[in-house]
Amino acid sequence: MAIIEVSGVSKRFRDAAGRGFYAVNDASLSINEGEIFAILGPNGAGKSTLVNMMLGLLLPDKGTISVMGERAGNQEVMEKIGYASGDERFHWSLTCGDILGFAGMAYTVNNRARRIGELLDFFGLRGVRDSKFDALSTGEKAKLALAYSLVADPRILFLDEPTLGLDPDISIKVRKEIKAIRERRGATIVLTSHYMREVEYLADRVAFINRGRIMEVSSVAGIRKHYPDLENYFVEMVKG
Ligand SMILES: Nc1ncnc2c1ncn2[C@@H]1O[C@H](COP(=O)(O)OP(=O)(O)OP(=O)(O)O)[C@@H](O)[C@H]1O
Ligand SMILES: [Mg+2]
C-alpha cells in the first residue's frame, strides 16, 4: 500500500541571476509502507527539495503530495514523521541528553527518559550523553541526528544524506543502524543519497533524479540489471 504519493510535482526557484529554473520538474512516485525508498542523484538534482515538499516544509508550485492519505504538511501526519539530515546542526552548548530531551518534549513523548535511554544504547551514545554537541565527533553527530529523528517513534523516517561526510567505516555502521531501524520498528524510510553503494545496500527501490527530473524508479536489482555498472551510469547522468 502506498504511504506517500507524489503526483506531477514541480518546484521552481530563481538562480543568483534571477532566472527561474525547475529544481523539481513534474515528479511522480509512490512509496510503499514499510519499504526503504532511496532518492539517488548528483548534487543539485533536487533531492532535498523533493523531500522538503514531502515533509510539508516547501509547497509545490504544481502537483500534489499525499502522506498517509493527507496532504503533505498535515499537522497530525507531521507528528508521525521523523527527519534527520547528514548536516544537522544543533546548538553547540547543548548536550546529547538535552537535545534528545527537547525532541521528547516537542513531540510529547510518554516515558521520555526510558525512550531516550533506549536510543542512547541503540546508537552507542550513552558515554557521550553529557557531552556538548560541539565536542562530539562527526560520527557521533550523525548518530545523534538519527536518534533525534526517532524519539517520537515515527512511522515514516526521512533521511537526507544520512552519511554525508562520514568516514567509510562510520558510514557502514550508520547504514547498519538504518537497516536495523526498519527491521525493529517497521518504519517506512525515505532516504536521499548520492552514494550508489549506500543505496544498493539499503534500498528496496530507488528513484534516480537528475536536474529535477525523475529518470527511473526501479528496484535496486532492476537498476543493476539495466545498468550493471551503476557508478559509470551515474557519471553519465551527471554529464547529462
Ligand atoms: N531556496 C532555494 N532558492 C533557490 N534555489 C534553491 C533553493 N533550494 C534549492 N535550490 C536549488 O535547487 C536545486 C536543487 O537543490 P536541492 O538542494 O534540492 O538538491 P540536492 O539534490 O539535494 O543536492 P545535494 O546533493 O547537493 O544536497 C539546486 O540547484 C539548488 O541550488
Ligand atoms: Mg540535498
How does pLDDT run across 131-184, given as a tens digit for each residue?
999 999 988 999 999 999 999 889 999 999 999 878 888 888 889 989 988 888
Q: Could you tell me the residue range of the domain that residue 200 belongs to?
A: 1-74+188-240
String of b and e for 226-240 (b: at least 16 CB within 10 Å)?
ebeebeebbeebeee
Tell me: pLDDT of 19 over 70. Answer: yes
The model's pTM: 0.91
CATH number assigned to the domain comprising residue 5: 3.40.50.300
| Whether the CB of 62 sits within 6 Å of ligand 1 | no
In a domain, 204, yes or no: yes
Tell me: pLDDT of 237 over 70. Answer: no
For residue 185, which of 162, 160, 154 has the smallest C-alpha distance?
Answer: 154
In a domain, 39, yes or no: yes
**HSE-up of residue 153 (Cα within 13 Å, Cβ side):** 12
In a domain, 22, yes or no: yes
Distance from C-alpha of 171 to C-alpha of 162, rounded to nearest angstrom: 9
Tell me: pLDDT of 130 over 70. Answer: yes
Residue whose CA is at the smallest distance from ligand 1 atom 24: 43
Beta-bridge mates of residue 21: 13
* Average pLDDT of span 42-69: 96
Cα of 52 vs centre of ligand 1, distance in Å, is 11
Overall domain count for the chain: 1
**Burial category of 28 from C-beta neighbours within 10 Å (exposed 0-12, middle 13-18, buried 19 and up):** middle
Instruction: Please identify which residue in the block is written with the cell numbers 514541480.
Output: 10
